[in-house]
Structure 1
């Protein structure tokens, strides 16, 4: 079974998501989205290559079911590093390269 490591950038993405929906007066939506994102990472514990090949070499992308978000991650032996949590409307390749 793989372990999941959330990078600072990925954790900041989750925090930003929660803050955004809190500011919109919909804190429960933010909490629900984060719960779905965390649930989806459970798949990566067993099937680390469940996501599609990513835009950048060495990355993979896991689409979160029923929400407009996906994880950008890397697999190193038995560790899955979640690099970012991205909205599907964003062009993310440049964001990852800047980190």
Structure 2
């Protein structure tokens, strides 16, 4: 399967990393690596995430970090929809 990032997913991920960079560059690098590795793992096990809040989506909870990756599985594509920080309000339906 191929992983495709939507623009809202890219934007939200970049915002989280930029925020972390101001406080801890090493921490930002660690979070970035962990999230990207978890997303890459979806290629082999796309159904590993729990059923999502949005229709026809799944959510990958990032272990030891307060992030959830919202994604959708389409035939041969895993569409990354949004990177959510658990202390923020969940955005409206996508």
TM-score by length of 2: 0.90
**1:4: which partner in 2?**
3
| Deviation (angstroms), 1:93 | 4.1
Runs of 4+ residues over 2 Å off in structure 1: none
Aligned length: 94
Question: Is the aligned partner of 1:18 residue 2:17?
Answer: yes
| Deviation (angstroms), 1:42 | 2.3
Output the aligned Cα RMSD: 1.3
**1:60: which partner in 2?**
58
Q: Could you list the runs of 5+ residues in structure 2 that have no partner in the other structure? A: none
SS at match of 1:49: helix
Alignment of 1:16-95 (within 5 A): 16-24=15-23, 26-94=24-92
| Deviation (angstroms), 1:78 | 1.4
| Cα deviation 1:28-49 (Å, max 9, x = unaligned) | 2111101100000122101111
Distance 2:44 2:85 in 1: 24
Q: Could you list the runs of 5+ residues in structure 1 that have no partner in the other structure? A: none
Distance 1:29 1:15 in 2: 14
| Deviation (angstroms), 1:56 | 1.2
Distance 1:27 1:14 in 2: 15
| Cα deviation 1:9-63 (Å, max 9, x = unaligned) | 1111121112112222x11211110110000012210111110110111111000
Q: Contact conserved, 1:18 with 1:27, CA < 8 A, in 2?
A: no
